[in-house]
Structure 1
Amino acid sequence: MSSFLLRRALPTSARAFSTSAPRSSFAKMTIIGRLADTPELQATSSGQEILRYVVGTNSGPRDNQKTNWFRITGFLPEGPQRDFISSLDKGTLVYVEGDASMSQYTDADNKPRSSLNIVQKSFEVLSPKKQQ
């Protein structure tokens, strides 16, 4: 048996691949889907404007597809990028990359709920709205 195969077959102990201090954990998501509606600018309590929009993705076979909706927030400064994104039409195919976090809350019926929050870091238009 070659030494390469012998090394692969023998159990090895766990080893560290980094000598730097551990960083806090984080989650990133990449979503490719269609805008559920035109993105909206909303003012926060501090007066800062944020961009909010929803991206829908489909999964499963054509006759039994399930749609997942992702709510995304963009903290973009006033300028051409924010103006461009806020002018996109419902149905535009987009690529979004962002930081994800979960939050827990109680709804109006006093039931516990979870929400996935995504903060946009990268955005690209892949194709315009589907033609009817």
Structure 2
Amino acid sequence: MSFLLSPMRRAAPKSIRAFSTTLPKPLARMTIVGRLGTDPEISESANGNQVIKYVVGSSYGPRDNRQTSWFRVASFAAADTPARGYLMGLSKGTLVYLEGDATMRTYDDADGKKQSALSLVQTKVEVLKRPQPSTEDNAEGGALGV
């Protein structure tokens, strides 16, 4: 005796809820792989909070016509945290993987012309490669026994 089994057919439930139960935010996320153009610096924001600022450059295009885009990044890592110490320990030339929340703002400059600025607030940073010490650093380190 043989039985013919057929798969159950059920209609997919109709959902009126979105995937997330949180309200959507007017926010864009960017991922950048590039090198630090400056050492990270601590400064104070307008409301008195400390912010770590740095620049990341990402290059694209053929070697003979390489272009670099520069991104200004802010991090709000709290004082006396490992994340802040890690970030402040990075130096110019470090290759990083960066994720950040991006917002575009428009403003009038001193001449009254409309300008646009992309603001990135770091949510994640990982070191991919540290810069090689220069030969001067190696010579000094050898002389100091470091």
User: TM-score, with normalisation over the residues of structure 2?
Assistant: 0.73
> How far did 1:117 drift?
0.6
Amino acid at match of 1:88: L
Q: Percent identity?
A: 45
* Counterpart residue number, 2:64: 63
Matching of residue 93 in structure 1 with residue 95 in structure 2: yes
Amino acid at match of 2:33: I
* Counterpart residue number, 1:26: 27
Mapped partners of 2:105, 2:15: distance in 1: 31
Mapped partners of 2:56, 2:86: distance in 1: 16
Q: Secondary structure at the match of 2:46?
A: coil
Q: Structure 1 runs of 4+ off > 3 angstroms?
A: none
Write out aligned runs for 1:30-45 (5 A).
30-45=31-46
RMSD after superposition: 1.8
Uncovered stretches (5+) of structure 1, i.e. residues with no partner: 1-16
User: TM-score, with normalisation over the residues of structure 1?
Assistant: 0.80
Amino acid at match of 1:71: R
Uncovered stretches (5+) of structure 2, i.e. residues with no partner: 1-13, 135-146
Mapped partners of 1:131, 1:18: distance in 2: 57
Amino acid at match of 1:61: P
* Counterpart residue number, 2:76: 75
* Counterpart residue number, 2:119: 117
Write out aligned runs for 1:4-23 (5 A).
19-21=16-18, 23=24
Mapped partners of 1:18, 1:124: distance in 2: 38
Count, aligned residues: 116
Q: Secondary structure at the match of 1:56?
A: strand
Mapped partners of 2:47, 2:84: distance in 1: 19
> How far did 1:18 drift?
6.0
